[in-house]
Amino acid sequence: MSLDKATVAKVANLARIRVEEKDLEPLAAELNSILGWVEQLGEVDTENTAPMTSVADMQLRWRTDEISDGGYQEDIVANAPGHEDGFFAVPKVIE
Amino acid sequence: MGMIIQGATGDWEVVIGMEVHAQVTSKSKLFSGSATEYGAEQNSQVSFVDAAMPGMLPVINEKAVEQAVRTGLGLKAKINKHSVFDRKNYFYADLPQGYQISQFLQPIVGEGVITIDLKDGETREIGITRLHLEQDAGKSIHDQHPSMSLVDLNRSGIALMEIVSDPDLRSPEEAAAYIKKLRSILRYLGTCDGNMEEGSMRADVNVSVRRPGEPFGTRCEMKNINSVRFIQQAIIYEANRQVDILEAGGTVDQETRLYDSVEGETRSMRSKEEAHDYRYFPDPDLLPLEFDDAFIEKIRADLPELPDDKKARFVNDLGITAYDAGVLVAEKEIADFFEAVAKGRDAKLSANWVIGELFGNLNRTGKSLSDSPVSADSLGELIDLIKDGTISNRIAKEVFEEMFETGKAAEAIVEEKGLKQVSDTGAIEAAIDEVIAANQDKVAEYRGGKDKLFGFFVGQVMKATGGKANPGVVNQLLRPKLDG
Amino acid sequence: MSDLTRLTIAEARDGLAAGKFSAVELTAAHITSMDAARGLNAYITETPEKAVEMATASDQRRAQGTVGKMEGIPLAIKDLFCTKDTLTTAASHILDGFKPKYESTVTTNLWNEGAVMLGKVNLDEFAMGSSNETSFYGNVVNPWRRQTDDQPLVPGGSSGGSASAVAAYTAMGATGTDTGGSIRQPAAFTGIVGMKPTYGRCSRWGVVAFASSLDQAGPMTRSVRDAAIMLEAMAGFDPKDSTSVDMDVPNFEAALTGDIKGLKVGIPKEYRLDSVPAEIQSLWDKGIEWLKAAGAEIVEISLPHTKYALPSYYIIAPAEASSNLARYDGVRYGLRVEGKDLADMYSRTRAEGFGSEVQRRLLIGTYALSAGYYDAYYLKAQKVRARIAEDFNTAFKEVDTILTPTAPSAAFAFGEKSGGDPLEMYLNDVFTVPASLAGLPGISLPAGLSGDGLPLGLQLLGRPFDEETVIRTAGVLEEAAEFTAKPSDWWRG
């Protein structure tokens, strides 16, 4: 499997990272070198192996249904680069 | 009956599948302890977890698990004791994590079934593909600021059940019946309040068309429709749009479309579609969700009687018509009200009063059952007065109007207005004598063989007693006097 | 008064208890040292006022008879731990100005045990790196230099600031986080002790996430005993972290019995790599001899899938990161670069906010999860990971602990491995990554010097939640190694 410029552009868009046209080619080369090295995983027989899900032998714990959090609007928007009347503010989204 | 669109080149059948997002009834969110109540001040029901602050982690709400299992049981579905939470990755202003925690390959509930009720008492079984738990997103408001969209995360992280149907629906009516039935079941179970206006139930509707008997056509998905009427309108518009394309020799593109209820049309949302690659993978902040049979059985033991079973019982045990039973079980509140009225009373008479007089008056005044001025108990008392002969059926209707108007008890009204039925033979006899004396000509005609006049005399006697005479007693006393 | 900064945590604890000095004095000495060491660029944010305030409160508590496990001990906190109202950056431009309104569980635990915060220390951006060369706040310098030249060296990474701060005596200990070796490798490069406990032992709540299934906090100190003391204070069950294990925290210090007679120590043959310098191989051999001399039984073991650990790590960690870092979008905190619409704002913010190594990993991770490649990359890597964990399970049926080198080299110069091929840098984690993938506890301790006078570390690994055996063995090894070398304090202004 080899990544071309177009694929890198597509992946960058998925990851919402703006990549300049001139950087696509070198990035593709770098990513290809890493992916090429990763190819060796193909040598491992995983036919009957389940993917690892958790390190510890434990079960998911459940929380009791009670209101134990929230109620601090100021703290929620305190760090926002744009906020207005307790809302987060972002460039207008047109649907 | 399926919907058939007659095109110039032949008939087209409409195929519909639904994905309903139902907000789980719970105090707190799926993975955080903030409140779920509707209509709170912006960002006041948001925790650092819901706002996806760095380093925040999800912890699952047991109530959400319980509600999903309860719903699964209500849909007669397979409950998966092992399920997995995945991340669905995409960027959006009201999706703070940049991913939604959902269930992709291994949902908590598998295949089930819903029986929908159609016109004329007909029913159809609609397959349920799956039910899974996921987080709701926040809300963007676009019209409050000239250049900015404002984001409120109160809804962010609230537990949703996504309930997916098989593509078994064949008409807008069936789709409507499906969503109504699903809503009814969820409300019976207490797992979702079914409030479509507040967004606690939204539907994504998949529509395709095909030649009858042929494989499925390409479908389009219309997202987030929040009324039964709009669902039907969207299906009709979309099915016709697809037929027009196909008839013109074109092909339908699989895509997400927006239903615009103002314009009454569906529009492509291709701009949003372009980069959809959700990159699902198991959420490493969570372990697989697991529970045992005992957990399921405990919930099963606690299940309420659901509409289908209730309907069957009303028909079989109470002798109510299928139609009436269907009306009575549609909403749990109605069924509960009816059962309270009918308890220890004539079920058919009770059903008639609930469906006829009560609903009639509620509809007329635009009231809902919950604010009915007549309670189940007082309607029951009124029926008791009819049964024990205190008032006639006709008087009872008058009394009911008064009850509905004033909220007073039936007995008080009867007492106050002196509406008690007269069964005193002396008083009735006197009235009969008066009527006979005043109508000697008619008496002669009757005795000459004109039997039909008997009714006239009954009417006159009733009139003379102000309608309060017991009609049975009148009959009994009148005939010998007329016969002479 | 002798230089208080030269004490270990255990010594300071005794000195404070005996009233030889106060927490305020101890803290003041470290603040002076921190000031003098600015050239190392170990700290992103210094919080001397807060430190004095906390130390004063500590002295008051002590006067009232309340003494926590870390009472009065001044610490540096890796800037990946969220600290309430104190700038928290993850060494990234994208978290510009971010002051959390909450405190991480691990730091909360430390403060509850009486510790004092000196400041927030530098790291590789989002903990992605092995040399601390990817920080938006600049490179951290290793206090150690080669005997032969004055060239500045990397402290290792990603907890490079933590390592440098502790090695340069500006803090008695520091928190680190380890995803693929980020505690152990910088500890080895700077001649200190670094311990990664079992995954699930320390809460991840409030720690900026890199790779959720791997990230684990741990102590970085100047002795094994100090690591035991500090780990005990950091660890503990946290209901806010679904992967935190509900298990009592043992008295780790009590594990330091010095007795390892009959202990079975595994030596994995796959870790004997030709590419590793002879001096590291021979240090490893020395370690074997020391343990043998202390009565341990040495067992050669095989961890057959070792060579696949790095490639699977470099799929799994970036894949998780690509999702974990999606929240940095310029909406709720940190940097925002305006764009023509929302999507444009996202991609400009993220392009400017993330450095090149972070971007590279986000792209790899995104690709590894994308439609059509998920099975080949991510799923395959998770399966290989299961095989690697299986290898360890098998080995630990036979042995109680495993001894290996910590890193394949000593500290290197800036730019030496960060020039062209990213793979060269990745290979630094070859000995630390396998245990990370399996979630096992591991410790690195300084055991000798390289030919040009740089510290080298040995690593001990243990069974899940058996930190005690690791600590006990490390204690014996530490004593045998008699590592007393110190960097010359050239950096003091």
Q: What is the pLDDT of residues C28-49, one digit of tens each?
A: 999 999 999 999 999 999 999 9
Q: Which residues of chain B are within 8 Å of residue A80 when distances are taken between CB atoms?
A: none
Q: Provide the pLDDT for residue B478.
A: 87
Q: What is the spatial distance between Cα C431 and Cα B85, in angstroms, rounded to a whole number?
A: 32
Q: Provide the pLDDT for residue A76.
A: 97
CB B30 within 8 A of CB B265: no
C130 catalytic, yes or no? Answer: no
Q: Which residue among A30, A41, A55 sits closest to C380, beta carbon to beta carbon?
A: A41
How much is the average pLDDT of C438-460? 97
> Taking 90 as the threshold, does the pLDDT of residue B420 lie above it?
no
- Of C354 and B120, the structure prediction assigns the larger pLDDT to C354
Q: C321: Cβ–Cβ under 8 A, 6 or more apart, which residues?
A: C126, C128, C210, C211, C358, C361, C362, C365
> Taking 50 as the threshold, does the pLDDT of residue C1 lie above it?
no
Q: What is the spatial distance between Cα C463 and Cα C228, in angstroms, rounded to a whole number?
A: 17
Task: Say if residue B233 is in the same domain as residue B192.
Answer: yes
- Of B476 and B75, the structure prediction assigns the larger pLDDT to B75
Each domain of chain C, given as residue ranges in start order, spans 3-263+398-492
> Taking 70 as the threshold, does the pLDDT of residue C108 lie above it?
yes
> Taking 50 as the threshold, does the pLDDT of residue C359 lie above it?
yes
Sign of CA dihedral C325, C331, C337, C342: positive
Into how many domains does chain B fold?
3
Q: Provide the pLDDT for residue B281.
A: 97
List, as ranges, residues 47-66 from B with C-beta within 8 Å of C: 48, 51-60
| Parallel/antiparallel/unpaired status of strands B86-89 and B281-282 | antiparallel
> Taking 90 as the threshold, does the pLDDT of residue A55 lie above it?
no
- For position B433, which CATH number holds? 1.10.10.410
Contact A53 B287 (CB under 8 A): yes
Q: C218: Cβ–Cβ under 8 A, 6 or more apart, which residues?
A: C175, C176, C177, C178, C183, C194, C195, C196, C197, C202, C227, C231, C234
Q: Which residue among A15, A55, A90 sits closest to C366, beta carbon to beta carbon?
A: A15
Q: Which residues of chain B are within 8 Å of residue C239 when distances are taken between CB atoms?
A: 59
Q: Which domain holds residue B321?
A: 305-417
Q: What is the spatial distance between Cα C101 and Cα B126, in angstroms, rounded to a whole number?
A: 49
The three-class DSSP label of residue C352 is helix
Contact C102 B60 (CB under 8 A): no
List, as ranges, residues 144-203 from B with C-beta within 8 Å of A: 145, 147-153
Q: What is the spatial distance between Cα B441 and Cα B446, in angstroms, rounded to a whole number?
A: 9
Pick the range with the lowest mean pLDDT from B257-271, C96-110, C239-253, C276-290: B257-271
Contact C367 A35 (CB under 8 A): yes
> Taking 90 as the threshold, does the pLDDT of residue A53 lie above it?
no
Residue in C131, C159, C182, C244 annotated catalytic: C182
Q: Provide the pLDDT for residue C303.
A: 98
Q: Which residue among B44, B140, B290 sits closest to A59, beta carbon to beta carbon?
A: B290
Q: B118: Cβ–Cβ under 8 A, 6 or more apart, which residues?
A: B1, B124, B173, B174, B177
Q: What is the pLDDT of residues C241-285, one digit of tens each?
A: 999 999 999 999 999 999 999 999 999 999 999 889 999 999 999
Nearest residue on chain A to C393, judged by CA atoms?
Answer: A55
Confidence of residue B1 (pLDDT cuts 50, 70, 90): low
List, as ranges, residues 170-209 from C with C-beta within 8 Å of A: 198-200
Q: B410: Cβ–Cβ under 8 A, 6 or more apart, which residues?
A: B378, B381, B382, B385, B396, B399, B400, B403
C450 catalytic, yes or no? Answer: no
> Taking 90 as the threshold, does the pLDDT of residue B481 lie above it?
no
Task: Say if residue B200 is in the same domain as residue B286.
Answer: yes
The three-class DSSP label of residue C242 is coil
Q: Provide the pLDDT for residue C418.
A: 75
- Of B262 and C348, the structure prediction assigns the larger pLDDT to C348
Contact C331 B96 (CB under 8 A): yes
Amino acid, res. B224:
N
Task: Say if residue B248 is in the same domain as residue B195.
Answer: yes
Pick the range with the lowest mean pLDDT from B426-430, C315-319, C366-370: B426-430
CB C185 within 8 A of CB C430: no
Q: Which residue among B47, B140, B269 sits closest to A70, beta carbon to beta carbon?
A: B47
Domain boundary, last residue among B417, B433, B455: B417
Q: Provide the pLDDT for residue B273.
A: 47
Q: Across chain A, which distance is largest between two alpha carbons, in Å? A: 57
CB B21 within 8 A of CB B160: yes
Q: Which residue among C211, C212, C327 sits closest to B97, beta carbon to beta carbon?
A: C327
Short-list B159, B169, B157, B241, CA closest to B193: B159
Q: Provide the pLDDT for residue C2.
A: 66
The three-class DSSP label of residue C319 is helix
* DSSP code at position A43: G
Q: Which residue among C245, C311, C336 sits closest to A37, beta carbon to beta carbon?
A: C311
Sign of CA dihedral C72, C73, C78, C81: negative
Domain boundary, last residue among B376, B400, B417: B417
Q: Provide the pLDDT for residue B270.
A: 63
- Of B65 and B269, the structure prediction assigns the larger pLDDT to B65
Q: Provide the pLDDT for residue B453.
A: 87
What ipTM was reported for this prediction?
0.96
Contact B281 C205 (CB under 8 A): no
- Of B37 and B466, the structure prediction assigns the larger pLDDT to B37
Pick the range with the lowest mean pLDDT from B93-97, B107-111, C187-191: B93-97
Burial of B292 (0-12, 13-18, 19+ CB in 10 A): exposed
Q: Is B89 on the interface with C (CB under 8 A)?
A: yes
How much is the average pLDDT of B411-433? 81
Amino acid, res. C54:
M
Q: A78 to chain B nearest CA, in Å?
A: 11
Task: Say if residue B173 is in the same domain as residue B270.
Answer: yes
Q: Which residues of chain A are within 8 Å of residue B290 when distances are taken between CB atoms?
A: 59-60
Q: What is the pLDDT of residues C297-349, one digit of tens each?
A: 999 999 999 999 999 999 999 999 999 999 999 999 999 999 999 999 999 99
Contact C329 B149 (CB under 8 A): no
Contact C209 B87 (CB under 8 A): no
Q: Provide the pLDDT for residue B390.
A: 83
Task: Say if residue B185 is in the same domain as residue B74.
Answer: yes
Task: Say if residue B289 is in the same domain as residue B318.
Answer: no
On whether the pTM is more than 0.90, the answer is yes
Indicate the average pLDDT of chain C. Answer: 96
Short-list C472, C488, C486, C484, CA closest to C227: C472
| CA triple B402-B407-B412, angle to 5 deg | 70
Q: Which residues of chain B are within 8 Å of residue A60 when distances are taken between CB atoms?
A: 60, 286-290
> Taking 90 as the threshold, does the pLDDT of residue C421 lie above it?
no
Q: Is C350 on the interface with A (CB under 8 A)?
A: yes
> Taking 70 as the threshold, does the pLDDT of residue A94 lie above it?
no
Q: Is B93 on the interface with A (CB under 8 A)?
A: yes
How much is the average pLDDT of B32-49? 97
> Taking 60 as the threshold, does the pLDDT of residue A95 lie above it?
no
List, as ranges, residues 32-91 from A with C-beta within 8 Å of C: 33-35, 37-38, 40-44, 46, 49-52, 54-56, 58, 60-61, 63, 72, 75-82, 88, 90-91
Task: Say if residue B270 is in the same domain as residue B338.
Answer: no
CB B205 within 8 A of CB B235: yes
C182 catalytic, yes or no? Answer: yes
Domain C3-263+398-492 in this protein, CATH class: alpha beta
Task: Say if residue B230 is in the same domain as residue B124.
Answer: yes
Q: What is the spatial distance between Cα A39 and Cα C178, in angstroms, rounded to a whole number?
A: 25
